[in-house]
Structure 1
Amino acid sequence: MEWEKEIRAFGYYLKIERSLQENSILAYRQDVEKVADFMEKNFPGLGPDKVQLYHLRQFVNALSGLNISEFSQARILSGIKAFFKFLMYEDKIRDNPSLLLEAPKLSRTLPDTLSYPEIEKLLEAIPMGAPEGHRNRAMLELLYSSGLRVSELVNLKTGHYFKDIGFLRVTGKGNKERLVPVGRSAAKYLKLYLEEVRVHQNVARGHEDYIFLNRRGKKLTRVMIFLIIKKLVKETGMQKKVSPHTFRHSFATHLVEGGADLRAVQEMLGHESITTTEIYTHLDRDYLRQVLNEFLPASKK
């Protein structure tokens, strides 16, 4: 069994049956190519159907000796596990050698967030008199009030916004769709942008359906959103490192701190697993532990 042939088949499977996007497929393939290169160098002639747990552990040991973060190592191992699971699914191997392969334990930390006053400070710094002011305000309001990923924001189309019920239809990772509510303030500025600015723009061919456009009438890029936020942060003198994802993290953190149901937050963020959303409960857990240690008599001994 040849590595190259099976890696190509794996990519085809990810595209057709898993409906993954090209960048995700490329990442998976690159992960498996790493283990293929290692096996060919250290165990010549060892095809994917002959790999055992011992060989994979040797690969993991080699990974840990390189200057690769634990998160990158875990991602690579996730890709390898998916590959051997695919071979099992296709009846190309009888036993899965990656089944007992352990990934490095990750120290999960809460991403950087902004307080609500800091969010307001950035939003209020947007010059509404400028041609792009209404657009920028609507975009950042949506990033915060709907917890959108930057890729989801730039790909929003006019048909995705149901203003009568105040919801967006968002296409997230793996082409999975979800409905997310639009906050009152975001709805207000989105209405202003669509009715006062967007309708008067000359739109480039092929970009007619996109909500947010640049001066040339084309949809905005992810990089442009980063630059807009970077400029605002600089103008306000804020010392934090802020990106579009910071608004999403702040959205989730503020909801959880306010007592929102974790399943509802998971649904709005588009997380496939509840464990991904649970990272936002860490602040509450730290607070509860502090209360316990401070006020429970037994904890003071």
Structure 2
Amino acid sequence: MQRAKESFELYLELERNLSPHTVRAYRKDLAQFYELVGEVPPEKLSFQHVRRFLAFLSQEGCERSTIARKMATLRCFFRHLIREKRILADPMVGVSSPKQKKRLPRYLEEDELERLIEGITGDGPLVLRDRALLHLMASSGMRVGEVALLTISQLDLEEKEVLVLGKGNKERFVMLSRSACEAIERYLGEARPRLEKNSGDKKLRARDFLFLNRDGGCLNVRSIARLLLKHARSAGIDQAISPHTLRHSFATKLLSRGADLRVVQELLGH
């Protein structure tokens, strides 16, 4: 069984080119499944094992979206086992994931976006960083993971564009607004050098991540989500928003102005 799990992880990493974070999520889902059903050999897995896991998740009060994700993990795992000829039949046949409630994605109106960014006042290094970061996210539609790993070398402020390394290592160019470029330029000149000095790690400083935390390290995804929520509350935006809200706001704005759907999808990296 361990060999089957290791083979599946290699498939996710090398063939599907998934991020380490996503691979960890698959690993956790599989571990939970096997913790419940025991170390059953692949050829012995059956419809009953899956049904038992599904019933367990429901009894635990898991959200429909969580159950659907875990079922998707199992479905992917079993299909991989079939491709590898480790099993002949798919244990997922006849098992349906719970229907999820469809929710309209939250997005910010233009006046809310303006209020969010203009509400970040002051001249401290973290203030200048946050203003530049939210300007960039609002004007580019980048994923939060893409923003966290963005480097200075990917920016071309003269051309007002950024080279984005997206899912599956696919590259795309996105344009930046003038205000975003100005905010980033000021951050690079006045704030980033001060943050960089806080890092005692020369190897870390050699990597030119654009957005740094107060210790001079790379600003991570969770920190970006937290600072966005903090500034949204300060701006009087009551509904909980996430980095994806800015991404959806970017797409909604373009579509409302008549942009072609396919062009918007390409800008988003779909």
- Measured after TM superposition, the shift of residue 201 of structure 1 is 6.1
Q: How does 1:45-194 map to 2 (within 5 A)?
A: 46-194=40-188
Q: Which amino acid aligns with 2:9?
A: G
Change (3 A) 1:64 1:21: same
Q: Tell me, yes or no, if the aligned pair for 1:146 and 1:182 is still in contact at 8 Å.
A: yes
Which structure carries more relative contact order (alpha carbon 8 Å, separation 6+)? 2
Cross-structure match for 2:34 = 36
Q: Which amino acid aligns with 1:92?
A: R
Change (3 A) 1:170 1:30: same
Q: With structure 2 as the length reference, what TM-score do the two structures score? A: 0.85
Structure 1, 214-223 or 136-145: larger mean CA deviation: 214-223
Give CA-to-partner distance per residue, 1:10-48, whole Å, 9 cap, x none.
1232223323222211211222233323333xxxx8422
Q: Tell me, yes or no, if the aligned pair for 1:21 and 1:175 is still in contact at 8 Å.
A: no
Q: Which amino acid aligns with 1:238?
A: I
- Which of residues 5, 8, 13 in structure 1 aligns to 2:6? 8
Structure 1, 5-14 or 77-86: larger mean CA deviation: 5-14
Question: 2: distance between equivalents of 1:25 and 1:201?
Answer: 32
Question: 2: distance between equivalents of 1:163 and 1:110?
Answer: 34
Q: With structure 1 as the length reference, what TM-score do the two structures score? A: 0.77
Cross-structure match for 2:263 = 264
Q: Which amino acid aligns with 1:24?
A: T
Cross-structure match for 1:212 = 211
Give CA-to-partner distance per residue, 1:95-145, whole Å, 9 cap, x none.
323244321122221232221101101111111433333322211011111
Cross-structure match for 2:235 = 236
Q: Which amino acid aligns with 1:157?
A: T
Q: Which amino acid aligns with 1:8?
A: E
Q: Report the identity percentage.
A: 36
Q: Tell me, yes or no, if the aligned pair for 1:20 and 1:175 is still in contact at 8 Å.
A: no
Q: Which amino acid aligns with 2:242?
A: S
- Which of residues 22, 36, 40 in structure 2 aligns to 1:24? 22
Tell me how many residue pairs correspond in the alignment: 265
Gaps of 5+ in 1: 272-301
Task: Indicate the structure (1 or 2) with the bigger Cα radius of gyration.
Answer: 1
Q: Which amino acid aligns with 1:35?
A: F
Question: 2: distance between equivalents of 1:24 and 1:234?
Answer: 30
Change (3 A) 1:129 1:74: same
Over the residues paired in the alignment, what is the CA RMSD in angstroms?
A: 2.6
- Measured after TM superposition, the shift of residue 241 of structure 1 is 1.9
Gaps of 5+ in 2: none
Q: Secondary structure at the match of 1:148?
A: coil
Q: Tell me, yes or no, if the aligned pair for 2:125 and 2:190 is still in contact at 8 Å.
A: no
